[in-house]
Amino acid sequence: MSDDTPVWFISGCSTGFGRELARLVLEQGQRAVITARGRDRIADLAAIAPDRALALDLDVTDQGQINAAVEAAETHFGRIDILVNNAGYGYQSSVEEGEEPRIRAQFDANVFGLFALTRAVLPIMRRQKSGHVINITSVGGLIGFASSGYYSATKHAIEGWSDALKLEVSPLGIQVTCVEPGPFRTDWAGRSLEQTQSHIPDYAETAAKRMADTSGYSGAQPGDPVRAAQTMIDIALKPDAPRHLVLGKFGYEAVTKRMTERLAEIEGLRAVSLAADFPEDEA
């Protein structure tokens, strides 16, 4: 194994995209720090390549565990080339019926944990003058859906933050990508999704209906997580990685339709927008 073999640091490897990505990375001869809330849940992944895998406990809401994991990764491999912020979970409710403790807990995991882990890894990448931060967001980070207001809010937050991060670190040789999957055949809906059921009749055909549809859809999603993981590997090793990577036909069609509609709306209000400035002769 050469010293220039890429080193990945992947959060949330026990299930879904994180598990498939970690498996492929190791099977393809690269090195990986694989993490989960309980190393026993990823012992089988580490066994794929014991000499190239470092399995660590990591709860991204625990700053102490973040610091310890990043320090262990640097000590073991000497570098971190690709950080994949994958840890997180879903929460569905109508906006009105969302429960404050569950909303805050989701932001802690999906947003503040991601921010904290990235902050811990960036000094290593700055010293290297190279690196790639890949944030697993969602189509919901670009589009809001009924029943997913709070989940979408976490993903929208990551998208805006990633725009700023890219401007700050691109001159340092560090790339930033958000991966925005649509519905993929993982156990997300069965294991990584919490719900507060809607009991307000006015939301029966919006939030409540979509929650029911989501639960019934698990296991039948069109997206293949293995193909998605391979796509992430492919773009991670390119010097001109995209800022956005929407995955799946549903996601592509939904995002392009919404973006086209949004641009048309903004352009249709051009005169109204420009009229809000001081007139040029008074500026």
Residues with active-site annotation: 151
In sequence order, the 6+-apart residues with CB closer than 8 A to the CB of 282 are none
Side-chain-facing half-sphere of 114: CA atoms under 13 Å: 26
Burial class (CB within 10 angstroms; exposed 0-12, middle 13-18, buried 19+) of 101:
exposed
**Distant-in-sequence, close-in-space partners of 4: CB < 8 Å, separation ≥ 6:** none
Q: Which of 31, 45, 117 is nearest to 77 (CA)?
A: 31
DSSP type of residue 116: H
Residue with tokens 């009924």: 146
